[in-house]
Structure 1
């Protein structure tokens, strides 16, 4: 019998996390957005430990956002959620399928299907392995839980930085439902609805749907159209079978689709290439150094099409003093993106498409005890099987030949141009016509195909020992085996990138250029014959060396080959130990040590290159391709650990949670864009000291005040091989030292049960550098680019006692602007691009619950 047949369950049940103000929410059921104002102080149930516990009794750093929280703050998706959870950052990158999740400053996983995330995202206990499967809107969300810090003991695969768990409402045996419609600026329309009820005494159903569209908040002045639109919809159906008090079976099927134009990049620094692109289009090619105008210039509209669908079956069986749970799931993601990735009106990149298919099967089984004695346990197993089939294309556009010609002329001081190079290099190889018309030819570029198969399994368990009625010791462990096999089939048709400018055949050409540059003939002859020599000033002896920067797409050495097998095999034992003590009936404290694990990630992109240590063997095997450079095929695993102490208190009118921690990751997988591609490397060690506070107080009836603060002191303890050299001892970028989310909700109940609900919340993030460095720019140049966040959101809802609710809402009401990410402009040395934050949005909402 195979392991796949033995392991029946799915490894990621309901993880726990919550927005900062969840601690101040009423204790009414999570789906009751209009809970009466006098319920404060009740229990919020979470499943952070894969057992149902109150938030107060869960000795884990966890935040919870209820349905009421989401409604009050007009939170539509996980990107909006960060405005309520200071420890969470969500970044939308170049497409709808590329979203990065960061908790406590740790996280990665976007921009490459082979890079798995450090923050695990789960929906109804099912792991969503890539961001394309995570960002769709969901109907009828019950709560969102955010677990901070390594969660590998119970959640296993890829939870080395934390977990985000979305829990939707189960079908109910009482008939009910809701319908919601919202209209806002940018012609935004959001419609959501759900219905639930009994089919029989033992079977209940629910059906939900959502639709979300807007015209886009940016304008493409070159194409004369709105861009950065939103267009997505989804459906979700559930069946709940409860044939007896002991057995429950929950079946879920869902489908969602995204078809939108995303994501604009503004010009942050206009380098010398902007004059070239302006000349090519006969006018402005970018809005120079004005990323917050939301005016862009592209020569074709970007496409983002995502289909995400699948199903799961959760079986819960009560054995008396034990409970058996199985979660089985199968999911498919189909993602296509094609982007004008040079972000100019010039037709430089005629096509940059990524077509990805991901099929995932997961299975978890676990057994949890509920003994009266001092010892209880949870044991389980998890199986993961995923296949990725990816096809990419990168082709030069109509303007790239003229653009390349201008670059070569500028780099050579006017001595060279494309036609001269084509004729001269061909003649020196014995065929003057060999290269004519081929350099930077329209339609040339790269055809790419990648395959990845990942199989992983783990065994996990925890044991709780009640030393006294108030003191509990918990130990847990998770052993994981992870295997990956990958292959590439990449063909470069970029003729110029295949030319070896150090070739002996070009010695006469190099000699003539050196003499023309004033070098004496004897020295010129020697240097021309030895072009790889480095001169005392650090420059190359080869006068053609400056042209190597324009060999953007060199021939690709495919994997597997005689030297590189295209395989990784990782295993790890993660473990945790915790003491939890109930000081009083209202105050608990805990101390935790835990480790986490994330397996190797694979570089499924044209930037995949052999390790430097493999180059000699590749050369000996006769596999070397022209201009083959070292890089990385994959990044090794991440190993994280955390030391944490915490306090949780809940009283009749207030609640407070505090966590103090030291968290670190060995082998942090860094994926940095250098202007033409991504460099995937491991940082030896990154660490963060931190303090988190979540608190709430209700000073008077109906008024609920909340505050969540996160202070972080991050550092690269050791990062010697970064894309910017040795940056050990520096502070990592994008991690604010101080983040704070504060909110206030006031509910006034009128005679007859009608209510008016006022809500306001504010997010602050202290200034932080946007990048660790920018390739092609001097050291310290990137320090001038910082992000500071000041976001104000508010809503007002009038809720009638018949279930009808009418409201107005606004997000980023002060229209604060900041850059979320910056990067070297694609193939445009000296220029910097960046993604601007979303502008102010506002609208009206009508909702009816029955």
Structure 2
């Protein structure tokens, strides 16, 4: 911590020595292009707790994927463990480790529902914003904890071609290309493509190979067309292909309080293909705007895991999954300066999943097969009215009605490993599940100026029920919806003509009928509505641009999440802290840019980021915890003309921490990623 204090003291000292003229406002540095979703207002006008990072922040901190933002935004936690299939996201302590996420994710307005597709690449992304608290009134299902909006550039607003090549320790290689071209005043086309290879951080000492090698490729193609002053159309297609070894878990030695090396006898891994296509039409008139968003998503993935995670040949699991999802949304919103504003819309979707788990009980000489065909359809209508009641004072009332119907066709079989023709059906069932829900939101806002705001919000969150792939009793076939009520007050303040901004919020969440995964030996995880919890805390964000070229950011979140009532398999965990919820998240970022007067360089950039997370408990029994830890990332970049050369580090002090801990047949865990040193070369043609 002494090193961190010295670094940020130097950054603050630089403030006193540098020039004080020609400062720019936060968020306007280095030609960032502002992007705002159709349903949202500018951040300064939105009465919601939110954090935003742009493409420059992503580039300066070498953020490869969404998981790398964990802890960098207040009360946002996305642990990095297992494989890219396991992508739990927690905001304000609300999250889901398995099955459907509790955080909504939209990419250019297109919804991502399934947890297997959430861990996505950030290359070519223009902005990522996290909205905290239930956002279901406007954005629907599974936005109980909050919302993540990801935006890409429109080639009509932004034109550039960039090539980037990076190499780092562990043979970490990344090659990226992005090009945004305006072909005519009304037509633009964009292409981004990225390839990432890493040999792996952890070795499987039994097999003598790396346990977490990854190859990943992504590509996004976009077309923007403005056929008339009132119409704007965007078409997009993306493809993501991942081949990954995974699950570098080792036995946890309680006596020594450390993980043993990875040591299991069968190679484990994950494969994923995700294809996404979208069509967006927007129509603007003087008094209203209309938006249509059509999306299709296909994913095909498979995991194969040595599930005893030891050299003993006991359990091996294969789980293939195919998913198709269609969605359509129509939204209207007012455009006027009167006392009444509104937004209303209609949303529908259909999702079909086929997934089967094959578990080899090797010593018992049989395979257990559980086959599931699941279809879910839903429709929703929503409306928000905003009234300007007095000078600078407004009130909003929103309401959404959701209807969903799900159907599952389940079959289980047993097959001798030495006799595949001896397959026997053990059980089968078909079941239906209906979910209907009203999701209200009430907001009061006082805003005397653009840089001053006070707000208070009461909102309901709702996460749909679903089906279990494994069951112990007939009651385990399905689980019911869970609900949250979120109470929040906050403020947004700008000073010094926008050079200093401050955001703060306090919240309390009442979480009822909570869906918790319960591990049943020889069956796996079964979700049941067995808990009632509460979460309370705060967020604080400060952005400073005190002098030309220097940007300082601080994001802090505090969450105290407790189970008020929880009974699981004859164990009473009432009064325990919720697992997988960091008590503190902290991010400090300093970025300083010099413009030398000599001929050798045009720009010299220094960037430092310190991210801290913890403490957090891993399981409901609170027997094992991860204390607060911090990671330091550094970068130096020099630019001459169109070329930039970067040298960077991640986890600079090689901090040791647990990325994950669990108890199955043994106590297991995964170590956090160690120190990395890398360099990048960037070519910009603008």
- TM-score relative to the length of structure 1: 0.74
Asked if structure 2 preserves the Cα contact closer than 8 Å seen for 1:89 and 1:102, the reply is: yes
Asked if structure 2 preserves the Cα contact closer than 8 Å seen for 1:583 and 1:589, the reply is: no
Could you tell me how far apart the structure 2 residues matched to 1:301 and 1:354 are?
15
Corresponding residue of 2:506: 660
Could you tell me how far apart the structure 2 residues matched to 1:255 and 1:849 are?
24
Asked if structure 2 preserves the Cα contact closer than 8 Å seen for 1:446 and 1:494, the reply is: no
> Against the structure 1 CA distance between its residues 178 and 559, is the aligned structure 2 distance closer, same or farther, given a 3 Å change threshold?
same
Asked if structure 2 preserves the Cα contact closer than 8 Å seen for 1:673 and 1:823, the reply is: no
Could you tell me how far apart the structure 2 residues matched to 1:583 and 1:797 are?
41
Could you tell me how far apart the structure 2 residues matched to 1:259 and 1:784 are?
32
Corresponding residue of 2:460: 595
> Against the structure 1 CA distance between its residues 61 and 556, is the aligned structure 2 distance closer, same or farther, given a 3 Å change threshold?
farther
Written as runs of structure 1 = structure 2, the 5 A alignment for 1:23-172 is 38-41=23-26, 45=34, 47=36, 50-51=39-40, 53-110=41-98, 115-172=99-156
- 1:785, distance to aligned residue in structure 2 (A): 3.9
Question: Which has the greater radius of gyration?
Answer: 1
Asked if 1:343 corresponds to 2:309, the answer is yes
Corresponding residue of 2:340: 375
Asked if structure 2 preserves the Cα contact closer than 8 Å seen for 1:266 and 1:290, the reply is: no
Structure 1 residue corresponding to 2:380, chosen from 458, 470, 475 = 458
Encode CA deviations 1:755-799: one digit per residue, 9 max, x unaligned. Answer: 2111111122232221113xxxxxxxx524434321111111112
Asked if structure 2 preserves the Cα contact closer than 8 Å seen for 1:385 and 1:454, the reply is: yes
Written as runs of structure 1 = structure 2, the 5 A alignment for 1:440-839 is 440-441=364-365, 444-493=366-415, 557-560=427-430, 566-604=431-469, 607-611=470-474, 632-651=476-495, 652=497, 653-676=499-522, 677-719=524-566, 721-723=567-569, 725-751=571-597, 754-773=602-621, 783-800=623-640, 802-825=641-664, 828=665, 831-839=666-674
* Unpaired runs of at least 5, structure 2: 1-7, 12-20, 418-423
Asked if 1:386 corresponds to 2:341, the answer is no
SS in 2 for 1:154: helix
SS in 2 for 1:591: strand
> Against the structure 1 CA distance between its residues 699 and 195, is the aligned structure 2 distance closer, same or farther, given a 3 Å change threshold?
closer
Corresponding residue of 1:196: 180
- 1:195, distance to aligned residue in structure 2 (A): 1.0
Written as runs of structure 1 = structure 2, the 5 A alignment for 1:263-302 is 263-269=247-253, 290-291=258-259, 295-302=261-268
SS in 2 for 1:56: helix
Could you tell me how far apart the structure 2 residues matched to 1:226 and 1:486 are?
38
Could you tell me how far apart the structure 2 residues matched to 1:184 and 1:313 are?
38
- 1:127, distance to aligned residue in structure 2 (A): 0.9
Encode CA deviations 1:68-117: one digit per residue, 9 max, x unaligned. Answer: 1111111110110114113111124433212111111110053xxxx211
Corresponding residue of 2:280: 314
Encode CA deviations 1:427-450: one digit per residue, 9 max, x unaligned. Answer: xxxxxxxxxxxxx12xx1212210
- 1:691, distance to aligned residue in structure 2 (A): 0.9
Asked if structure 1 preserves the Cα contact closer than 8 Å seen for 2:204 and 2:248, the reply is: no
Q: Which moved more, 1:665-674 or 1:363-372?
A: 665-674
Asked if 1:359 corresponds to 2:324, the answer is yes
SS in 2 for 1:91: coil
- 1:641, distance to aligned residue in structure 2 (A): 1.3
**RMSD of Structure 2 on Structure 1 (CA):** 2.4
- 1:845, distance to aligned residue in structure 2 (A): 1.0
Between Structure 1 and Structure 2, which shows a larger proportion of strand residues? 2
Could you tell me how far apart the structure 2 residues matched to 1:96 and 1:192 are?
20
- 1:176, distance to aligned residue in structure 2 (A): 2.2
Asked if structure 1 preserves the Cα contact closer than 8 Å seen for 2:106 and 2:149, the reply is: yes
SS in 2 for 1:731: coil
Written as runs of structure 1 = structure 2, the 5 A alignment for 1:171-210 is 171-172=155-156, 175-210=159-194
Could you tell me how far apart the structure 1 residues matched to 2:671 and 2:466 are?
29
Asked if structure 2 preserves the Cα contact closer than 8 Å seen for 1:172 and 1:206, the reply is: no
- 1:595, distance to aligned residue in structure 2 (A): 0.7
Could you tell me how far apart the structure 2 residues matched to 1:218 and 1:157 are?
37
> Against the structure 1 CA distance between its residues 493 and 693, is the aligned structure 2 distance closer, same or farther, given a 3 Å change threshold?
same
SS in 2 for 1:358: strand
> Against the structure 1 CA distance between its residues 39 and 270, is the aligned structure 2 distance closer, same or farther, given a 3 Å change threshold?
closer
Asked if structure 2 preserves the Cα contact closer than 8 Å seen for 1:249 and 1:316, the reply is: yes
Corresponding residue of 1:225: 209
SS in 2 for 1:242: strand
Asked if structure 2 preserves the Cα contact closer than 8 Å seen for 1:48 and 1:60, the reply is: no
Asked if structure 1 preserves the Cα contact closer than 8 Å seen for 2:516 and 2:531, the reply is: no
